[in-house]
Amino acid sequence: MKSVAPASPASSNATWAQLAESGSLFAARLMRRVYRLLGRRLSSGLLWPIALYFSIVRGDGRVAQRRYLTRLRVVAPELDLPEPSFATCLRHTHEFSVNIFDRMVAWGGELDDIEFLHRGSEHLFSLAEQGKGAILLGSHLGSFDMMRLLAGRHGLAVNVLMYTRHAEQIGRFLAQLDPDHPVRVISLDPSSTRTAFEIRQCLGRGEFVGILGDRIWPGDTGRREWIPFLGHPAPFSLRPFLLAGLLGAPLLFSVCVRRDAATYEAIVEPLHSGGIVPRGERDAQARKWLEQYVARLEQGCRQTPYQWFNFYDTWHTHERGA
Amino acid sequence: MTDEALALEIKKIIVESLALEDIAPEEIETAAPLFVEGLGLDSIDALELAMSLEEKYGVTVGDDPDENQKIFYSVESLAQFVTVQRS
């Protein structure tokens, strides 16, 4: 019998990153005002003291942050990363602040202030032209939200799957901040039969569904696979990959990373061009796609080491030990 | 087909399409909840089951999540749904 996902209380891993992800309306509006007043250069200078503040005050994400930086350093000696210290963590946190800052700028409608490079976006456009939906496999690498905004600007409908507890909060926050471009949220509710049907509905309308594949939601222990990531096995959910095989939806690895002061690169790489996978082969195929996804994610971490913002116990050390 | 025969057929479809290895169709209670607290099935199972039923009976499972929650509650509710759609 399949394992039952217990209805767990909010995870104790509710890190500052989650708080920052949900954000605060006041801070967002303040940032936007400062941005308009001072311009990009000056206002982004203010992010260092903010990052410093977070590095000192919000200590609970730091363990996860250090573990990530340490593991990356060990598997990628060619990067010559320094040993994790307060300074490297500060740099990482600063990069996260820039990420949030740019998101606020983009939400405020100043997407034109940010330059975008494209690699593989044509896959998205060609699917959209054919009226075909797809599953976009995102992650906490770079900014999936930037990807969503960019796709939206090109007229593509992107729905984002979010854990229920965050969905309402984030949805409300974004609606207040950017009323013209409401985020389309599909709520992930492990205790209900609805999520997969909602995804089918969106894909059926020829829309895109964004899923962040590098986070297991609190209490969700079903359909996990332990895949080596930065040298240690970590649990990942098979669900997005099983759905792609079941519904025959194309599957695309999608990421948007910062390349330069105000330049982002949107990268889209197909993992599956579409087509239903026969039942008997579905589990094995899903696992293959998941492995490709994790390998691609790891490659991204090597390319932009300070842009993976998963301040969370990725390797579930509480289950397996460090 | 009698209600009982249809219920048993649906139980067989559940076991087959979801590859439930440790369970015989007869062991599934007709009125018991199937998902989460029952057999511990999740929403992907529900979708997979919906697609099997669509194929076998030519029914159409809609995309209204609340409606689906009711249809997929138990074998009994599934049988009712199939009966109504086929009549």
- The ipTM value here is 0.89
Report chain A residues whose CB lies below 8 A from the CB of B47: 196-197, 200, 243, 246-247
Phi, psi of A180 (to 5 degrees): -80, -20
What pLDDT, on a 0 to 100 scale, did the predictor assign at position A25? 65
CB spacing of B42 vs A222 below 8 angstroms: yes
Amino acid occupying residue A272: H
The answer to whether residues A223 and A253 touch, using CB atoms and an 8 Å cutoff, is: no
> Low-confidence residues of chain A, pLDDT below 50?
1-22
Residues 6 or more apart whose Cβ sits within 8 Å of residue A206: A128, A131, A132, A133, A157
Q: Which residue of A has its CA nearest to B16?
A: A279
pLDDT tens for A153-205 read 888 999 999 876 667 777 777 777 777 766 788 888 766 778 899 999 999 99
Q: Give the number of domains in chain B.
A: 1
At A13 the pLDDT is 36
Convert the pLDDT of each residue in A100-124 to its tens digit: 888 878 877 777 888 999 999 999 9
Interface touch A198/B63, C-beta < 8 Å:
yes
Closest-CA distance, B20 to chain A, in angstroms, reads 6
Which positions of chain B have pLDDT values less than 70?
36-38
Cβ of residue B5 closer than 8 Å to a chain A Cβ: no
Chain-chain contact of A2 with B50 (C-beta, under 8 angstroms)? no
Q: What's B8's domain CATH number?
A: 1.10.1200.10
Q: How many C-beta atoms lie closer than 10 Å to residue A52's C-beta?
A: 15
Are A194 and B65 in contact (CB < 8 Å)?
A: yes
Inter-chain touch B69–A2, beta carbons under 8 Å: no
Angle at Cα B42 formed by Cα B36 and Cα B43, nearest 5°?
Answer: 125
What is the pTM assigned to this prediction?
0.88
Query: Which residue, among A186, A197, A200, would best test binding to B if mutated, counting the most B CBs under 10 Å from its CB?
Result: A197
Domain carrying residue B69: 3-86
Alpha-carbon gap: A158 to the closest alpha carbon of chain B (Å): 18
pLDDT at A208: 96
Residue-wise pLDDT for B34-50, tens only, equals 886 667 788 899 999 99
Decide if A192 contacts A164 (C-beta within 8 A).
no
Cα dist from A315 to A228, A265, A301, whole Å = 9, 28, 15
CA distances from A191 to A24, A241, B37 (A): 28, 20, 9
Cβ atoms of residues A253 and A268 within 8 Å: yes
Report the pLDDT value the prediction gives residue A58, as an integer from 0 to 100. Answer: 66
Are the beta carbons of A243 and B46 separated by less than 8 Å? no
Q: Which chain A residues touch B36 with a CB distance below 8 Å?
A: 4-5, 190-192
Confidence at residue A59, expressed as pLDDT on a 0 to 100 scale: 64
Partner residue facing A193 (CB), from B17, B40, B69: B69
pLDDT of residue A11: 35
- Gap between the Cα atoms of A310 and A65, Å rounded: 8
Residues A116 and A142: beta-carbon distance below 8 Å: no
Nearest by CB: A1 against B20, B69, B72: B20
